[in-house]
Amino acid sequence: MWKPYSVPRTERIIERLTPTIETIAAKYDMPAAAIQAVLRKEMPQIDVMDFAADLAVALGGLLRKDSSTGYMQIFGWVGLNAVNFAVDRGLATYESLGIRSDHRLDPYRDADVRLIWKKMEGDRKANLEIAALNLISCAEEMTGRIDFAHYTEEEWKLIFTRYNQNIRKVTPYGEEAYSYFVRFQNIQKGVLS
């Protein structure tokens, strides 16, 4: 199956996006390597079926109401829950995220899910930022705290696993994403290039 993002292309895109990623990471006091790790894991897995799913949603949601979208491959309802998590914790507001709404967004309301999906599908920075908020919510859910400076290796693996699926044990996804996390941290420290 056709996959548009080879590993070398993914690496180049991550390098190009690093200033944006670092800005988002600094805003939420989290390591940029966490965002980069998810990008590195997700992008090479994007295939023609992901584009078909996005097209089905983009055509009005008659065939499909939601899909994982953008480089971070995040569903609209997941993004919406991450946004509400951030708003509830005082990490962000709808306005600071560029989301126009006169009510609290509801993950069971198709129009609200579509609003967030369209934001993430059409705005690369929003896709990265909302995915970062999802990582923060995953961190709290899996560890009971938001403390990026002190997570253990096992906790990081659980956080990355949770980004990908609703499960409470480390999966191969979490293991692989963690290996990318360590690599990106080492690059930022100047240990690797």
Per-residue model confidence as pLDDT tens digits over 88-146: 999 999 999 999 999 999 999 999 999 999 999 999 999 999 999 999 999 999 999 99
Q: Is residue 39 pLDDT above 70, yes or no?
A: yes
User: What's the predicted TM-score (pTM) here?
Assistant: 0.95
Tokens of 3: 């996959």
Q: What is the DSSP track for 120-174?
A: HHH-HHHHHHHHHHHHHHHHHHHHSS--TTS--HHHHHHHHHHHHSS-SS--HHH
Confidence band (pLDDT; 50, 70, 90) for 71?
very high
Mean pLDDT for the stretch of residues 35-57: 94
Mean pLDDT for the stretch of residues 55-82: 90
Q: Is residue 159 pLDDT above 60, yes or no?
A: yes
The amino acid occupying position 42 is E
Q: Is residue 2 pLDDT above 80, yes or no?
A: yes
Give the H/E segment covering residue 190. Answer: none
Mean pLDDT (the chain) is 95
User: Taking a C-beta distance cutoff of 8 angstroms, is the pair 83, 94 a contact?
Assistant: yes
| Whole-number pLDDT of residue 193 | 57
Confidence band (pLDDT; 50, 70, 90) for 63?
confident
Closest residue by Cα to residue 114 from 73, 58, 63: 58
